[in-house]
């Protein structure tokens, strides 16, 4: 037997719930620093805080060992310009990376300054970051002395800004490359992070979702002094009292996807990501920004193929794309010949489409593995794809099924898959406003990794997590003692356990689908005040009519039900932010039909949004509100001691 149905057939009854049911039973945990979210940034935050000698608790919805988007692995350690092979200055590179209107200059500066130290600490813990077995001798970018494998990404150009000379002979010569990105064996990372948490005495609460933050005197906007959690196996209610709380959960992606049977289908982010952290902070009175930035996500969302099961997905290093007749297509291959460019030159996609219509290119397209140099082929398949997130299992199953990189072309889904509404997503830019301590606008509350606005990649999550952990730990040293407000706890308890007290009603999947329908119709491509307000009304109707009927028969379904409530709140924040931005904005992919012009002078700014006495308030922050990145970083980090000395 393997499935539930087989068990039922063989045993004549369903299995009993395997964990002790403890709906509403309380556990109180006292700590100094509480970290919510045990992915990459949360683990690093917990470790960094514990290394400062304070008590740390870490709450994770899954199991820290493999949870989060970086749980299965990561192949690129991006923006490590402090590495010995780099040809660029970390501060200058940070400014270069931040040369976009909407980005997070604070996080980027931290990443560029501390990312390489973070990587060396990863190696101390047991993570593999070098080609120590000499598997890839002779591969481009491999340094024989350090055994680092430099990635083609950001070779001589910015990988997101295509260059017209890409692919020409002599473009991207080895002696001019920036050498800022390192290929790593990221499948080894998450288990060693958990081990280090344990070694340092971090109290790890696996299978617990954070549900709310607790404010001083229970007042929205007042200092955050703790949080509540729900155990998704037992239904136990956890109450944390802490001197500082670090949020390290991530965005919400599936709000537009009207089938929760496919929630994990093509996702490149963990299925557990449902906006809980941002919503907790929102209700606690913290300020968010970029929430109106949503759009069609090109890869790994909706009902598309699983990321990398088709050739041509982003990061397909060095694999040339060819048409059905073997003709090379003019796409950059994120390889050495085009300096790691990840996006085609403007107009390329349209030119290829027209050529297809004229019959000059024939569908489908393929990734031409055999055309690659032997060692590059192996480095891409065995290192890059095997270590990168969910692609590891793809490589394993394809190898077992007889796929041969030396002989086979891998099918690409470009064009034949199309773009449609279910591909709409939150884009990942929305998040909490932070200062140079990674503190949010509410005292006692910090945000790291993808919890901040405009986040970046795995190593960004690691470096900012480590930084936020350090800062939060420093803050608790002179924080006083605060009493939790029982009324706030009771209200949360009532909200959380309401679905367990009903015999019949609506299950979480249907509620989710109701929400996604509202998002598809009213909060997607065609945005007007009328449509957005209809979306808001529809969600409010769901809250008034459907939520009181929500049922959950076991703790797992209760957890999914609470996630729905988070997503509904998250959706409302998106709508409020979209209503407040009264100007289309091509840089954010934000189109308002009723405000088609991009009034750049007035509207090129961060729109902020928060709750004050449960009323929505919007405001603005100028682009680059963080000031001079180098100066600010140095002013805030005079005591930074670099790589951790083990044994401390």
Partner 1 sequence: MSEQNVFALPNIPTPSTPVSFNPDKCTGCNNCVETCPIDVFIPNPKKGSPPIILHAEECWYCGCCVDDCPTPGACNFNWPLPLKPRWKNKETGEVRQV
Residues that bind partner 1 (CB under 8 A): 1-5, 7-10, 12, 15-16, 18, 61-63, 65-68, 71-72, 187, 207, 232-233, 260-267, 270-272, 305-306, 309-310, 366, 368, 370, 389-390, 392-394, 396-398, 401-403, 407-411, 556
Least distance in angstroms from the C-beta of 400 to partner 1 = 8
Token pair in block for residue 544: 């008034």
Token pair in block for residue 534: 């209809």
Least distance in angstroms from the C-beta of 399 to partner 1 = 10
Considering the complex, state which of residue 270 and residue 608 has its C-beta at the smaller distance from partner 1: 270
Least distance in angstroms from the C-beta of 480 to partner 1 = 36
Least distance in angstroms from the C-beta of 170 to partner 1 = 29
- Judge whether 441 and 429 are in contact, CB under 8 Å: no
Least distance in angstroms from the C-beta of 408 to partner 1 = 4
Considering the complex, state which of residue 61 and residue 576 has its C-beta at the smaller distance from partner 1: 61
- Judge whether 571 and 255 are in contact, CB under 8 Å: yes
Altogether, the residues listed in the chain come to a count of: 648
Dist CA 203 CA 539 (whole Å)? 38
> Which residue in 539, 615, 541, 535 sits closest to 578, CA to CA?
535
Least distance in angstroms from the C-beta of 254 to partner 1 = 11
Dist CA 451 CA 431 (whole Å)? 6
Least distance in angstroms from the C-beta of 555 to partner 1 = 10
Considering the complex, state which of residue 68 and residue 285 has its C-beta at the smaller distance from partner 1: 68
> Which residue in 84, 86, 75, 77 sits closest to 177, CA to CA?
86
Considering the complex, state which of residue 87 and residue 327 has its C-beta at the smaller distance from partner 1: 327
Considering the complex, state which of residue 73 and residue 285 has its C-beta at the smaller distance from partner 1: 73
Token pair in block for residue 498: 């309401």
Least distance in angstroms from the C-beta of 377 to partner 1 = 13
Q: Is residue 77 within a helix (H) or strand (E), and if so which, with residue range?
A: strand 76-77
| CA angle, 540 then 285 then 539, to 5° | 10
Least distance in angstroms from the C-beta of 410 to partner 1 = 5
Dist CA 382 CA 190 (whole Å)? 19
User: Count of CB atoms within 10 A of residue 378's CB?
Assistant: 17
The residues, any chain, with a CB within 8 Å of residue 157's CB and separated by 6 or more, are 163, 166, 172, 339, 340, 341
Strand partners for 617:
610
Dist CA 527 CA 108 (whole Å)? 31
Considering the complex, state which of residue 62 and residue 444 has its C-beta at the smaller distance from partner 1: 62
Q: Directed axis angle between helix 90-97 and helix 629-636, to 10°?
A: 120
Dist CA 538 CA 531 (whole Å)? 10
Considering the complex, state which of residue 291 and residue 300 has its C-beta at the smaller distance from partner 1: 300
| CA angle, 92 then 122 then 644, to 5° | 80
CA 648 to chain centre: 32
Considering the complex, state which of residue 67 and residue 112 has its C-beta at the smaller distance from partner 1: 67
Considering the complex, state which of residue 137 and residue 393 has its C-beta at the smaller distance from partner 1: 393
Token pair in block for residue 244: 């500082």
Least distance in angstroms from the C-beta of 129 to partner 1 = 19
Dist CA 315 CA 367 (whole Å)? 12
Considering the complex, state which of residue 467 and residue 508 has its C-beta at the smaller distance from partner 1: 508
Q: What is the largest CA-CA distance in the chain?
A: 73
């Amino acid at each position: 037997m393997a499935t539930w149905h087989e068990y039922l057939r063989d045993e004549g009854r369903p299995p009993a719930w395997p964990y002790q049911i403890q709906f509403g039973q309380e556990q109180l945990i006292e700590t100094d620093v509480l970290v919510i979210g045990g992915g990459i940034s949360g683990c690093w935050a917990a470790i960094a805080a514990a290394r400062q000698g304070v008590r740390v608790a870490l709450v994770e919805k899954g199991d820290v060992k493999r949870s989060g988007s970086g749980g299965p692995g990561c192949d690129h350690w991006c923006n490590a310009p402090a590495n010995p092979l780099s040809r660029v200055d970390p501060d200058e590179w940070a400014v270069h990376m931040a040369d976009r209107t909407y980005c997070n200059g604070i996080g980027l500066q931290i990443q560029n300054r501390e990312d390489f130290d973070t990587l060396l600490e990863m190696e101390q813990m047991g993570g593999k970051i070098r080609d120590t077995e000499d598997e890839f001798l002779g591969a481009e970018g491999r340094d024989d002395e350090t055994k680092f494998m430099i990635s083609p990404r950001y070779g001589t150009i910015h990988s997101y800004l295509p260059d017209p000379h890409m692919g020409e002979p002599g473009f991207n010569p080895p002696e001019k490359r920036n050498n800022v990105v390192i290929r790593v064996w990221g499948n080894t990372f998450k288990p060693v992070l958990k081990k280090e948490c344990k070694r340092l005495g971090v109290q790890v609460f696996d299978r617990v979702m954070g549900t709310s933050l607790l404010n001083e005197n229970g007042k929205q906007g007042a200092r955050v002094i703790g949080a509540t959690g729900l155990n998704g196996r037992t239904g136990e209610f956890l109450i944390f009292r802490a001197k500082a709380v670090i949020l390290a959960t991530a965005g919400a992606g599936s709000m537009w996807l009207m089938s929760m049977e496919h929630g994990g289908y093509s996702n490149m982010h963990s299925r557990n990501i449902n906006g809980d952290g941002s919503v907790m902070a929102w209700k606690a009175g913290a300020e968010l920004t970029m929430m109106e930035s949503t759009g069609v996500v090109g890869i790994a969302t909706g009902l598309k193929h699983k990321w990398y099961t088709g050739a041509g997905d982003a990061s397909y290093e060095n694999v040339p794309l060819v048409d059905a007749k073997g003709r090379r297509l003019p796409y950059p291959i994120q390889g050495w010949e085009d300096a790691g460019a990840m996006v085609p030159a403007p107009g390329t996609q349209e030119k290829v489409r027209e050529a297809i219509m004229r019959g000059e290119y024939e569908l489908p397209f393929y990734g031409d593995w055999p055309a690659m140099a032997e060692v590059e082929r192996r480095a891409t398949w065995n290192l890059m794809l095997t270590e990168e997130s969910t692609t590891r299992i793809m490589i394993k199953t394809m190898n077992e099924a007889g796929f041969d990189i030396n002989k086979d072309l891998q099918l690409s889904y470009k064009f034949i898959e199309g773009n449609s509404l279910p591909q709409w997503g939150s884009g990942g830019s929305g998040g909490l406003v932070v200062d140079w301590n990674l503190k949010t606008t509410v005292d006692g509350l910090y945000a790291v990794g993808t919890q901040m606005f405009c986040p970046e990649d795995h190593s960004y999550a690691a470096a900012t997590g480590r930084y936020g952990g350090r800062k939060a730990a420093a803050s608790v040293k002179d924080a006083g003692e605060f009493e939790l407000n029982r009324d706030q706890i009771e209200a949360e308890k009532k909200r959380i356990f309401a679905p367990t007290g009903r015999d019949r009603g609506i299950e979480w999947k249907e509620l989710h689908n109701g929400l996604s329908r509202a998002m598809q119709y009213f909060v997607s491509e065609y945005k007007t005040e009328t449509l957005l307000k209809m979306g808001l009304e529809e969600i409010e109707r769901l809250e008034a009519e459907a939520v009181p009927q929500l049922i959950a028969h076991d703790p797992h379904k209760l957890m999914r039900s609470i996630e729905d409530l988070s997503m509904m709140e998250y959706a409302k924040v998106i709508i409020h932010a979209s209503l407040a931005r009264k100007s289309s904005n091509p840089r954010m992919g934000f189109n308002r039909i009723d405000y088609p012009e991009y009034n750049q002078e007035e509207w090129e700014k961060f729109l902020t949004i928060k709750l004050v006495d449960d009323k929505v308030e919007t405001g603005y922050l100028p682009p680059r509100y963080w000031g001079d990145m180098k100066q600010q970083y140095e002013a805030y980090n005079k005591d930074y001691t670099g790589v951790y000395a083990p044994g401390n």
